[in-house]
Structure formats: C-alpha cells, structure tokens
Amino acid sequence: MISNQHDMGSVKWKRKILRIYRIFILFYLLGEAASFVADWGSGLNYVITYLYDSTLLPVSTMLITLFVLELLCRYTNRNLDYIFIWAAVILSGSLIITNRHIPVMQAIILVPIVLSVLYFNKVKILVTTVICLAFILIFYSFASPEVAAGFGPAPFSLIVICTIILACCAAGLIVINRGMELLEDLREKVVSEIKLREEKTWIEEMSKADALTGLANHKSFHDHLDLILDSEEHIPELELHLALADIDNFKAINDTYGHWAGDIVLKQTAAILKETLQPCSLISRYGGEEFGILFLGMTDEEARDRLEAARMAVASIRLSEIHFQAVTISIGLYRKRETDSKETLFKRADTALYEAKRTGRNKMCVSDETVA
C-alpha cells in the first residue's frame, strides 16, 4: 500500500528527477566555468587538458545519460526506478573519475543514495548502497598511485568513504522506517476518522428513520415539514398537501394474531406506500399504525389519485400471518392554504381522517377546506 502511494515510477516524479539532473549538470558547468576563468593564466596546454578532462568528458557523459533517460521517459511506460538510480551513479562516477585529483569529489557518490531514499523503498536503498560501494572499491583499485596518495593512506581513505556511504544508507533506512511509522499512524487516524463519520452518519440516519418500517420517523417528519413551511414564506405559491393514513382495526389485528403479526402488517403497508406514492415529499410512520404523507408541488387531483392508488394497493394484500384477512387504510387529505398555520394543517388533515373512519373506513376523505 505504502509502495503504491509513493510510486516514483510515475511520470510526475520522473520529470522531477530529470529536472534535478539538469540542475546538477548546470551547477557543475558553472563551477567549471569559474575554475576555467581562475586558471586562464596557467598556459594553453593546461587549459586544453583541463577542458578535455574536467569539462568535455564528464559533461558529455552526463548529457548522453540525460538524453537516454529523456527518451526512455517519453517512449516507454516501464518502471525506470533502477535505471534512474544507475543514471545517478553514472553522473556521480563521471565527476569523481574526471576530477580524481580533488579528494572532496568522492562525496558526490552519496547523491545516488539520497535519490534512492526518495523512492521510499528499503531494497532500492540497499541496492544503491552496494553499487556505490562497488564503484568506490573499483575506483581505488584502478586509481594511479599519485591519485590514491592525494586522498591520504589508501586503506584509511577507503575505509572512511565506505563508512560514510554505509552511514548514509543507515540514515536513509531510518528515515524510511520513521516515514512508514508516520504513514501508518496517519492511515490509522484516517481509518478511525472514516469509521467515526460512518457511525455518526448511521446514528443520524437511525435517528431520522423508523426502525421497523424504514420510513421517516415522527421527529424527522416535523423537521422536514418545518423546512417546507420556511420555504413557503419565500415561495407562497408552493402547493403543499398533508395526508394522514391509518390502518383500520389495527388493535384487533394485534389482539387476535399477536404483535409480531401486527409488525408484519406495518412493514408491508409501509412498503406499499413507498412504492405507490413516490415521488412525493416525504412518507413517515407518524406514530403507531398512523402514517404521515407530504405532497409538494402537486395539484389536488394528483394528490388524490396517488393516495387512492395506495389505498387500493394496500387493500389488495393478503398475508398468511393474519390468515389472509384484508388490510385496509383510511386516509384524510388537506391542502394547506396561505393563511394556515402548522397546527391548522394537521387539524384539518386529522378531521378528514376521522371522517373517513366514521363513515366506514377503507376510504379517503378530503377536508372541505381544500376547496377555496
């Protein structure tokens, strides 16, 4: 996972590393130009030798290496991590070899190791370290006695540079270990935060929903209605209908067949209301066996037609849990008028529901106040 997140084979990181190589070459050229100006009075032969050994050879090597990398980046999608590391070794090595008379130049061999740390991969750091150690050993093996003497006693100087390389490798491994620990801590915190948000969302949803039917509960129904009523102040022509539906003889169902059968009737009725009344503003289990329904932006006829279709759909169900006895609902409907308060809205809808119950059940009544 961490390896994927820090994939240095991406085009973005390839371009960044190439930019670093270009800057590396540019700084070297500037340094050589300054040295050339300082040594101008040393004679023509010295200047020509200096330009050839310290400028032309290393710069040509570096430019060719950079050109090859540019081609690979442009024309291949392969993972070039180790090629970039080898390129860093070639760039550093060419400078060390061509400037072998300058002992401090050996420190440039640390550049590939520093680059390998950016890959956030322990294996790459270890491989790069082995390559750098091999290069230094080969360099000391083939260096002339004069060059080796310039670095001090051969065994001592070799041990020093190898120790520095190993120390740089160890530092890189420590950085990666610490980075991995930080990333793991961050991952755990992110996962924990996601879980907390999911739990909070679940709790919020559960607080808004009726556990049995999955419909909105009493509180969320009123919260939603309040939002609509607030909006109505800015949009007076907004059509709002409130319907209250009640399962007929529900107490008798509970008494005869048990509350578990009553729960099944409630769930089945709620499912049918959801199926037949959508789209509508909101369907809720308002309390007990009563359902509250809000229609927004519908005409009187559209609201009546939908409720009548729902009533007939409920009346057609037969459940084995209540011995296939018919389940029916009574409905009261009222369209809010501009001067009506929230209390008036419920009072009119409840009056219409009472009228449906009183006049035979399994029917819908519309409050007389609906018609202006």
The rounded distance, in Å, linking the Cα atoms of 167 and 123 is 16
Q: pLDDT tens digit string along 202-216?
A: 556 556 788 899 898
Closest CA to 136 of 112, 172, 170, 171: 112
What pLDDT is attached to residue 333?
96
Distance CA 341, CA 364 (A): 23
The tens digit of pLDDT for each residue in 224-235 reads 888 888 876 655
| 156-189 pLDDT per residue, tens | 777 888 899 999 999 999 999 998 888 888 888 8
pTM of the model: 0.50
CA dihedral 282, 287, 291, 295 (to 10 degrees): -30
The average confidence (pLDDT) of the chain is 81
For residue range 284-312, what is the model confidence (pLDDT) as tens digits?
999 899 999 999 888 899 999 999 999 99
Residue 161 has what pLDDT? 85
333 pairs with which residues across the strands?
243, 366
Let me know if 205 is a catalytic residue.
Answer: no
pLDDT at residue 87 is higher than 80:
yes
- Mean pLDDT of the 122-126 span: 91
Lowest mean pLDDT among 177-191, 261-275, 326-340: 177-191
Residue type (1 letter), 286:
Y
Whether 150 has a pLDDT exceeding 60, the answer reads no
How far is residue 162's CA from residue 147's CA, in Å, rounded to a whole number? 17
pLDDT at 334 over 80: yes
So what's the pLDDT on residue 46?
A: 61
User: Which has more confidence, 178 or 98?
Assistant: 178
pLDDT band at 3 (very low <50, low <70, confident <90, very high): very low
What pLDDT is attached to residue 313?
Answer: 95
Average pLDDT over residues 192-202: 68
Nearest to 178, CA basis, from 170, 168, 167: 170
pLDDT, residue 56, reads 75
pLDDT-derived band at 371 (thresholds 50, 70, 90) equals: very low
Lowest mean pLDDT among 44-48, 137-141, 259-263: 44-48
For residue 345, pLDDT over 70 is answered with yes
Say how far apart CA 210 and CA 203 lie, in whole Å: 12
User: Which one is predicted more confidently, 187 or 358?
Assistant: 358
Between 197 and 66, the higher pLDDT residue: 66
From the candidates 289, 301, 321, 343, which is the catalytic residue?
A: 289
| Type of residue found at 358 | R
> Do the beta carbons of residue 33 and residue 211 sit within 8 Å?
no
**CATH T-level topology, domain 218-370:** Alpha-Beta Plaits (3.30.70)
89 burial (CB, 10 Å; 0-12 / 13-18 / 19+) is: buried
The mean pLDDT value for 306-334 works out to: 93
Domain spans in the chain, listed from the N-terminal domain onward? 2-189, 218-370
pLDDT at 108: 84
308's tokens: 């009548």
Write down the pLDDT at residue 248. Answer: 95
pLDDT value, residue 260: 93
pLDDT at residue number 207: 63
Q: What is the pLDDT of residue 153?
A: 47
What are the two backbone dihedrals, phi and then psi, of residue 369, each rounded to the nearest 5 degrees? -70, -10
What local confidence, expressed as pLDDT, does residue 74 receive?
77
Angular region, 351: left φ>0, alpha ψ -120 to 50, beta rest: alpha
Whether the per-residue pLDDT at 80 is higher than 70: the answer is yes
Where does residue 123 fall: left (phi above 0), alpha (psi -120 to 50 degrees), or beta otherwise? alpha
